[in-house]
């Protein structure tokens, strides 16, 4: 039996089946294995892991914790409760119309982040004005239709994670900030901080930054310095604001004080740092990396709910879910009929019933005639079973938006 237990219940003789640590960069601990020494337990604890999964059929059991099924049921219930709330964001123009502008912005953003990473690596200063101009364009796009830039972030290329992750955070931070009605100037500063949050990684040695396997303790300690490096680089940049610096410096801080670089706790972390932590974790766990397979957005949202409280601000997590939706535009979902559909529009009354474009049948493993399907329509009998990975069906989602 698989059970989720608190770290304090972990003992020598247990078999860990999952460290429940997808939000932690590739550290040198195996995700599963038999616990033979107390030192291993302490090492897991120092990573900030509060809960993990054990396999009682392969090691000792405990009365503490919940079974995997109970955890899944609890996460699904929390997701359902979040889904009952109406989305906060309402587009003012259509997705097709905004997509053309968004695609151009997205490419400009990738190029700008790539260039600044190269410039800083050779000792050049960060051109803050260029990022302010980019952030303005992104915010304008999000005010028109936030789904356009957001769904482009789910279309990823291999070997471009650092650039894409930075751009995605800029987009998600802008969407998040707009949903809580941040003033325009504050929203722009937060977006710039998100775009530049990983600038400190330019000072991390390539052999550590791009290592395909697990990091040693020493390498992991080096990797963790990037948040402090980001703070230092941005504070030296002309025209940067303290708010922008906080976003970059605090995106790895955690509510329980187990984050880095300062180990800030609760309200010691700025609201912008807590927001950045949420969007950083969300984007990281939905991306394919050398050390884990990316989750579908809906599964990632369940993980955010599971990790809220200990690591992430619970109230802000719920707000983030309302602003992106439990089935974000660009998600691929399996319907009860066996058909697959790409989410193309949110339902203003119930996030669980979006508008989808069906185009593939899983029973026949073949494409079918495309159809726009409003799951909230009284005559529609189909319902979503779950979100699925487009790669499993070799589907290019962008073709159906």
Distance, CA of 102 to CA of 164 (rounded, Å): 14
Distance, CA of 156 to CA of 161 (rounded, Å): 8
Radius of gyration (C-alpha) of the chain in whole angstroms:
21
**Tell me, what CATH number does 187's domain have?**
1.10.3210.10
Secondary structure, 3-state, 21-35: CCCCCCCCCCCCEEC
Number of domains making up the chain: 3
Q: Is the pLDDT of residue 242 over 80?
A: yes
| Among candidate residues 324, 343, 362, the one where a domain is terminated | 324
* CA nearest neighbour of 180 among 253, 268, 88: 88
**Is 110 in the same domain as 141?**
yes
Q: Is 188 exposed, middle or buried (0-12, 13-18, 19+ CB in 10 A)?
A: buried
Mean pLDDT estimate for the chain: 91
Residue 66's pLDDT band (cuts 50, 70, 90): confident
**Is 383 in the same domain as 236?**
no
- Residue 22 inside a domain? The answer is yes
* CA nearest neighbour of 367 among 336, 395, 342, 388: 395
Q: Is the pLDDT of residue 25 over 70?
A: no
Lowest-confidence region among 12-26, 156-170, 172-186: 12-26
Domain residue limits at 150: 95-324
| Half-sphere exposure of residue 303: CA atoms within 13 angstroms, side-chain side | 22
**Is 234 in the same domain as 377?**
no
Higher pLDDT, 110 or 161: 110
What's the helix, strand, coil split of the chain in %, to 5?
A: 50, 15, 40
Span 6-23, average pLDDT: 89
Cis amide leading into 110 (omega within 30): no
pLDDT digits (tens, 9 = 90+) for 258-274: 999 999 999 999 999 99
- Residue 76 inside a domain? The answer is no
pLDDT digits (tens, 9 = 90+) for 250-260: 999 999 999 99
Where residue 21 falls (left for φ over 0; alpha for ψ -120 to 50; beta otherwise) is alpha
Helix (H) / strand (E) containing 97: helix 95-121
Task: Tell me the percentage of the chain whose pLDDT exceeds 90.
Answer: 69
Q: At what angle do helices 161-179 and 271-285 cross, to 10 degrees?
A: 130
pLDDT digits (tens, 9 = 90+) for 113-128: 999 999 999 999 898 9
pLDDT digits (tens, 9 = 90+) for 323-350: 888 899 999 999 999 999 999 998 877 8
- Phi, psi of 260, rounded to the nearest 5 degrees: -145, 160
**Is 48 in the same domain as 118?**
no
Q: Is the pLDDT of residue 130 over 60?
A: yes
* CA nearest neighbour of 299 among 277, 274, 321: 321
Q: What is the pLDDT of residue 74?
A: 83
Whole-number Cα distances in Å, 219 to 117, 159, 192, 212, 226: 21, 21, 28, 13, 12
- Residue 113 inside a domain? The answer is yes
**Is 318 in the same domain as 336?**
no
Q: At what angle do helices 242-249 and 226-235 cross, to 10 degrees?
A: 170
Q: At what angle do helices 95-121 and 161-179 cross, to 10 degrees?
A: 130
**Is 390 in the same domain as 262?**
no
- Residue 81 inside a domain? The answer is no
Residue 87's pLDDT band (cuts 50, 70, 90): low
**Is 57 in the same domain as 7?**
yes
pLDDT digits (tens, 9 = 90+) for 135-150: 999 999 999 999 999 9
43-72: string of b/e by CB count within 10 Å (b at 16+)?
ebeeebbbbbbbbbeebeeeeebbebeebe
The 8 Å CB, 24+ separation contacts for 119-127 are 120/199, 120/202, 120/203, 120/233, 121/202, 125/236, 125/237, 125/238, 126/196, 126/199, 126/233, 126/234, 126/237, 126/240
**Is 113 in the same domain as 171?**
yes
| Among candidate residues 324, 346, 369, the one where a domain is terminated | 324
- The β-bridge relationship of strands 66-67 and 51-55 is unpaired
Q: What is the pLDDT of residue 182?
A: 94
pLDDT digits (tens, 9 = 90+) for 36-65: 999 999 988 888 888 899 999 999 999 888
Residue 30's pLDDT band (cuts 50, 70, 90): confident
Distance, CA of 338 to CA of 384 (rounded, Å): 10
- Residue 84 inside a domain? The answer is no
**Is 282 in the same domain as 257?**
yes
| pTM for the full predicted model | 0.88
CA 95 to chain centre: 22
Q: What is the pLDDT of residue 31?
A: 76
């Amino acid at each position: 039996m698989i059970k989720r237990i608190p770290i304090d219940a972990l003992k020598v003789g247990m078999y860990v089946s999952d460290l429940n640590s997808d939000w932690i960069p590739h550290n040198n601990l195996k995700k599963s294995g038999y616990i033979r020494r107390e030192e291993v337990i302490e090492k897991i604890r120092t990573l900030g892991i509060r809960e993990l999964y054990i396999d009682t059929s392969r090691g000792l059991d405990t009365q503490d914790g919940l079974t995997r099924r109970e955890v899944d049921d609890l996460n699904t219930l929390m997701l359902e409760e979040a889904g009952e709330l109406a989305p906060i964001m309402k587009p003012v123009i259509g997705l097709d119309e905004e997509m053309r502008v968004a695609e151009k912005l997205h490419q400009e953003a990738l190029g700008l982040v790539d260039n600044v990473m190269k410039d800083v690596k050779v000792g050049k200063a960060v051109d803050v004005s260029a990022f302010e101009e980019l952030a303005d364009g992104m915010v304008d796009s999000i005010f028109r239709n936030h789904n356009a830039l957001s769904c482009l972030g789910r279309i990823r290329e291999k070997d471009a994670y650092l650039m894409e992750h930075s751009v995605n955070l800029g987009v998600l931070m802008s969407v998040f900030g707009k949903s809580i009605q941040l003033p325009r100037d504050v929203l722009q500063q937060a977006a710039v901080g998100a775009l530049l949050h990983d600038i400190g990684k330019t000072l991390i040695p390539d052999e550590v930054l791009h290592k395909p396997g697990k990091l040693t303790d020493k390498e992991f300690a080096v990797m963790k310095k990037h948040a402090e490096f980001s703070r230092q680089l941005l504070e030296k940049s002309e025209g940067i604001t303290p708010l922008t610096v906080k976003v970059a410096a605090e995106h790895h801080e955690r509510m329980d004080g187990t984050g880095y670089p300062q180990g800030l706790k609760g309200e010691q972390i700025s609201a912008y740092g807590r927001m950045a932590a949420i969007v950083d974790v969300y984007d990281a766990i939905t991306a394919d990396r050398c050390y884990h397979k990316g989750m579908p957005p809906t599964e990632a949202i369940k993980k955010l709910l599971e990790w809220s409280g200990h690591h992430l601000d619970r109230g802000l997590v719920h707000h983030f879910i309302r602003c992106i939706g439990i089935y974000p535009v660009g998600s691929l979902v399996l319907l009860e009929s066996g058909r697959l559909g790409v989410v193309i529009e949110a339902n203003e009354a119930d996030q669980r019933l979006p508008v989808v474009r069906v185009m593939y049948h899983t029973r026949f493993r073949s494409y079918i005639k495309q159809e726009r399907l409003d799951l909230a329509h009284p005559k529609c009998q189909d319902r979503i079973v779950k979100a699925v990975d487009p790669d499993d069906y070799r589907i290019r989602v962008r073709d159906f938006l």
